[in-house]
Amino acid sequence: MFNRRDFIRTGSALGAFTSIPTLESWGDTLLPSLEGPSHHAISLDQHWTVARISKSTPHQQSHQEGQLPQVTLPHCVSQLSWQKWDPSSWEDLWLYRRPLQIPQEFRGLRLFLHFDRVMVNATAAVNGHSLPQHLGGFLPFEHEITSLVTGASNSLSVTVDSRWSNVPPSGSPKGPASVDYLLPGGINGSVELRAVPPIFIKDVFAKPVNVLSADRRLEINCNVDSAIAKSTPVRLVATLQKDKQIIARTSRSVDVAQNRQDVSLVLGDLKDVILWDTENPHLYDLTVTLFVRKQPLHAYKVRVGFRDARFELDGFFLNGKRLQLFGLNRHELFPYVGFSAPDRAQRHDAEYLRRQLNCNIVRCSHYPQSKAFFNACDELGLMVWEEIPGWQYIGDKSWQDVALQNVGDMVRRDRNHPSIVIWGVRINESPNDPELYRQTREIAKSLDGSRPTSGTMTPSSRKDWRQNWHQDVFAFDDYHAAADGSVGIDEPLPGVPYMIAETVGQYSYGTARNFLRRYRRAGDPVEQAEQAVLHAEAHSRAATNQRCCGVIAWCAFDYASLMNAYAGVKCPGIVDTFRIPKLGASFYLAQVNPSVRPVIEPSFYWNFGSNTPTGPGKHAAIFSNCDYLEVFIDGRLHERLKADKDAFPNLKYPPFFIDLNIDGASKPELRIDGYTGNTKALSRSFSSDTASDRLWLHADDMEIQADGTDATRVAFAVVDKFGTPRAYAKGEIHLQLTGPGIIVGDNPFSLDDTGGVGAIWIKSIPGSPGRITLSASHSTLGTNSVNISSR
């Protein structure tokens, strides 16, 4: 029998208990919700105020306090535009505060504060009692606060230090310009109050083993945390389900000592499970329930996908079949909010990469990204390379300690995602540090023996990688030109699984051999037209040698940067920062079976202005998955085209090239018909007459949640009469919103620097549902509007 004394925790490590959990408090009402890791959780995302503290005196601070507006998480401390971010706008100390109410039903339970992520260092305090500082953005942390709460009403504060500090990726004495991406601060993830019984399941790792054979199994490691002074008999029951159907179940009884301990279970007899793969990302639900004396006290639920992913000497294999890796690097930074975009926006990125850009893998460069992104990758069949924060710089011992901590926190957080197939455990493009990288690898392997480790390497590392190099996969950032100035792809190194983790980027192929390109829609049209062709060359050439597992090119989306950037936005993306495709995307958009959707994407602007007086030029590329194309100018057949299989032998859908060096004085119309077999699969038209241009406005979602966090993107563009964005369109967009929402973004919005497109996000107001209307007006093109509802 338990008695009250059993729950009095002793020992300084656990601290003193002000409220002692009792057996009675584990009543039926506290049965597991079966959603996520905690018994009960409440969101603390709303009702925060935030003040910049180091720049204001204490007097000013208290004066301001009553006037501070409430903010909702995720939140960025700076009001940002889409460009020209200034690190001094966030590099400071910020004080977030909110009340902390403890619901009646949490009485007698252990209480934890859970932070998804805070950029960059965070000190939380409950009722003025400071908790240990957490160092480094990107990864979750938790504090037990059971002994700190007093009654129902408490206060919570978080001091966020978003200055440049000695944690990865920052730390270099050269400051923010020394890292390729900017790091705006704030509480950029969710905060939760979690309530659990005195014994609870802290973590579950479910590792599929022997996946390709009929006797596959699921090895389950449960970390159980007990605050009970004496050893307690518990039973753990693991149930694997597909929707409501139980696939397998097992249980184990153990005595759990005070503090933490691991308990392992094995689920066998899984011969009928369907494997997870990129085309059919089949997922199962695993629930582990902890019973004490037949009473279910706590449950922990994770999703499981059974797949076998291997990087071998002769390529990458998914479930035993060779699969060419086809992907892009992704920075998570969004316009206006940096790393504080809502889950919906994160998921849209994954959907865009998988469904529109047809990638089968994404590299999360150069840090762990949002949970919502990984959940979407699992559901979409988008494989992932995840890596620790860092960029070229390795700091001192305390910096390295944070890097080591990051490896453990990353692997623990994300090892249940079937989409993740490899861990990056080296600082991106850093010099070799044998001792540091021996340790990072060891931590990853000890927490997850099922995935290979890697880290991206530069040309100098190709020579001496065999000495003191301990990763499983050699991932090369291949930026060099071939002798003829086209995209150079080095031969895979012998004796090691090999892949390309970056290529193309802003590299100037041809003669310059530097990172000088700017793929801006408002920039040089000739450079822009070449971007897709360079990406096509890289993927085709890398596929010549089957030893190369494939290519993850640089990169998906433009991002905020002070390095080789234009007005603070680096533009190697094939999609811009607003998530609007550039010409560079045309190659990726076309790499899909025409039975899914026929695609015709010219890699040029149909424009005859001062930038391109004679049109797209002599060697204009069109990307399409059709068998052949017929190109018409003003209704007259100009040319019938076949794809250039000779120059791009290893692409499923190589580009078509055409001479379109023509006189555009008559403002001709272009039509491209695409045929598969003898059937016309698609016809697209393009107008060069700007007189018929119009304003296009599009909301990604018809509905958002009225929680003050959720937001949907509204994109706008000047388009020709057939709907294609008009390059170099200018003017201002004035936005007007009615209803319970706010505009996150620039208003008015100048089209001049974006080249005629843009986007803002509409964010809900907590607890205010209703219909939201956004109208956008352009000085010469009139007004357009969209409606969404907030529920």
Which positions touch ligand GAL (CB under 6 A)?
180, 365, 428-429, 477, 502, 505-506, 515, 554, 572
How do beta strands 383-387 and 361-364 pair?
parallel
Cis check for the bond before 572: say yes or no (omega within 30 of 0).
no
Q: Which is nearer to ligand GAL, 514 or 750 (CB)?
A: 514
Q: Which is nearer to ligand GAL, 188 or 365 (CB)?
A: 365
Residues in a beta bridge with 694: 719
CA–CA gap between residue 96 and residue 76 (Å, rounded):
11
Q: Which is nearer to ligand GAL, 505 or 741 (CB)?
A: 505
CA–CA gap between residue 222 and residue 201 (Å, rounded):
7
> C-beta of 505: minimal distance to ligand GAL in Å?
3
CA–CA gap between residue 374 and residue 68 (Å, rounded):
34
Q: Which is nearer to ligand GAL, 9 or 363 (CB)?
A: 363
> C-beta of 538: minimal distance to ligand GAL in Å?
13
> C-beta of 220: minimal distance to ligand GAL in Å?
37
> C-beta of 414: minimal distance to ligand GAL in Å?
21
Going edge to edge, which strands form the sheet with 636-642? 636-642, 628-633, 669-676, 679-687
Enumerate the H helices of 418-517 as residue ranges.
Answer: 434-447, 461-464
Q: Which is nearer to ligand GAL, 573 or 668 (CB)?
A: 573
Residue 706's φ and ψ, nearest 5 degrees, are: -85, 60
> C-beta of 453: minimal distance to ligand GAL in Å?
18
Token pair for 377: 């990758």
DSSP 350: H
C-alpha dihedral, 505 to 511 to 517 to 520, nearest 10°: -110
Q: Which is nearer to ligand GAL, 277 or 477 (CB)?
A: 477
Tell me the CB-side half-sphere exposure of residue 457, using CA atoms within 13 A. 27
DSSP 135: E
**How far apart, in Å, are the Cα atoms of 331 and each of 182, 312, 368?**
10, 27, 10
> C-beta of 599: minimal distance to ligand GAL in Å?
27
**How far apart, in Å, are the Cα atoms of 674 and each of 399, 678, 683?**
56, 10, 6
> C-beta of 572: minimal distance to ligand GAL in Å?
5
> C-beta of 563: minimal distance to ligand GAL in Å?
7
> C-beta of 430: minimal distance to ligand GAL in Å?
10
Residue whose entry in the numeric block shows the structure tokens 């601070």: 61
> C-beta of 738: minimal distance to ligand GAL in Å?
42
Q: Which is nearer to ligand GAL, 365 or 688 (CB)?
A: 365
CA–CA gap between residue 81 and residue 734 (Å, rounded):
15
CA–CA gap between residue 777 and residue 749 (Å, rounded):
10
Q: How many CB atoms lie within 10 A of CB 411?
A: 24
Residue nearest to ligand GAL (CB): 505
Q: Which is nearer to ligand GAL, 111 or 179 (CB)?
A: 179
CA–CA gap between residue 490 and residue 176 (Å, rounded):
32
177 closest CA partner among 392, 333, 336, 367: 392
DSSP 646: T
> C-beta of 515: minimal distance to ligand GAL in Å?
5
Residues in a beta bridge with 633: 636, 670
Residue whose entry in the numeric block shows the structure tokens 């085309």: 279
> C-beta of 429: minimal distance to ligand GAL in Å?
5
Q: Which is nearer to ligand GAL, 477 or 707 (CB)?
A: 477
CA–CA gap between residue 426 and residue 432 (Å, rounded):
9
Q: Which is nearer to ligand GAL, 515 or 628 (CB)?
A: 515
Q: Which is nearer to ligand GAL, 78 or 365 (CB)?
A: 365
Token pair for 212: 């390709």
Taking a C-beta distance cutoff of 8 angstroms, is the pair 638, 616 a contact? Answer: no
Q: Which is nearer to ligand GAL, 475 or 651 (CB)?
A: 475
CA–CA gap between residue 155 and residue 115 (Å, rounded):
16
> C-beta of 759: minimal distance to ligand GAL in Å?
23
Q: Which is nearer to ligand GAL, 507 or 608 (CB)?
A: 507
> C-beta of 501: minimal distance to ligand GAL in Å?
8
Q: Which is nearer to ligand GAL, 87 or 598 (CB)?
A: 87
- Burial class (CB within 10 angstroms; exposed 0-12, middle 13-18, buried 19+) of 499: buried
Residue 160's Cα: distance from chain center in Å?
23
CA–CA gap between residue 439 and residue 88 (Å, rounded):
35
Residues in a beta bridge with 256: 232
CA–CA gap between residue 585 and residue 49 (Å, rounded):
41
Taking a C-beta distance cutoff of 8 angstroms, is the pair 514, 505 a contact? Answer: no
> C-beta of 366: minimal distance to ligand GAL in Å?
6
Q: Which is nearer to ligand GAL, 373 or 391 (CB)?
A: 391
Taking a C-beta distance cutoff of 8 angstroms, is the pair 429, 399 a contact? Answer: no
Q: Which is nearer to ligand GAL, 51 or 565 (CB)?
A: 565
> C-beta of 456: minimal distance to ligand GAL in Å?
6
